Structure 1
Amino acid sequence: MKKLKNLVWSALCMVLLLSACQPDDLVGELGTPFSKTEGLVGTWKVANVVQHDLKAPANAANKQLTLTDRFDFSTARIKFMASPNTFTVEALDGPVFLPASGTWTFDNPEYPTEVRLVGADTKNVTLKLGSAPRAAFPATRLMFERMVRKDAADPASAKEAIIRYDYDLQRVAQ
């Protein structure tokens, strides 16, 4: 009898909880979508760079390495300009995988997940966005993955990421 009483009580509580958790009706428009280009345009200083070894065992001591402890990034700047979409990279010390200058585009202008840099020196790089770029945000993260072929002897083999570099950037006041 006690089990039946507990079961009925539990069922009643569940019904009350589930019926109380209904979403409110959405009222009004969401507003004008923000410009992702405006969110990225500007001068950014490199606040932190972390290298992740994607092939190291999960418990490896050096799976993650903070490069800002080993190299001087204090004067490093990345500047994104609009109309035309160009960029420059200044004083980047340490492992440099970015072209010095060139043009940039988003993979998808409305919902970008990547910034593609086309270097003036023909070096092309794709950076993953850590979040949607917004003009109101003072910080962002760009991630670069070093890719290698799974089969080095076969130029047609698929590529895989072996190391990822996370660039934490802070917007420089204009």
Structure 2
Amino acid sequence: MAGIHGIAILETLSIGTNQLSLGSGAILQGHSTPTRLQDDGFHFATIEGISLGQKKLEIDEDEFEFSVLFDSGSSISHLKESGYESIVEEVDNLMAGFLDPAYIGDGEQCYKGNMDRELDGFPLLTFHFSEGADFEVGVEGMFLPFNKSIFCLAIHRSES
């Protein structure tokens, strides 16, 4: 149908990747969330909350109204200030006494250790979208290896 589009985000657990399907071929299951298609072709949605494990993080919901851009070509997620700061604070709390921070410059949030070994059992990061849609992100989507002994948060602060 003209003017109707769907977005499906599928996590392929066996290889640790995500797929984003746009358009009439998207298979939608469960809850969906309204999106807005900009003139530049980007899709935007609204985040109503973020959780790490069972803990709901503090965010400024006004910052996130139709301000989440889907970019399936990037390994890094960019969040506005309140979302980014809340995630970093909670990840630091979970790492405290367990892993030491690694300072590599550029303001990245990094830790000393082997990502696969050290983060076994790390809680899921969940983005709660409007109208009940949730997107869960596992360790492979939250962190990226910097080298064999350092890994970094794959979420950065957005400047816009």
The TM-score, its normalising length taken from structure 2, stands at 0.24
Q: Higher Cα Rg: structure 1 or 2?
A: 1
The TM-score, its normalising length taken from structure 1, stands at 0.23
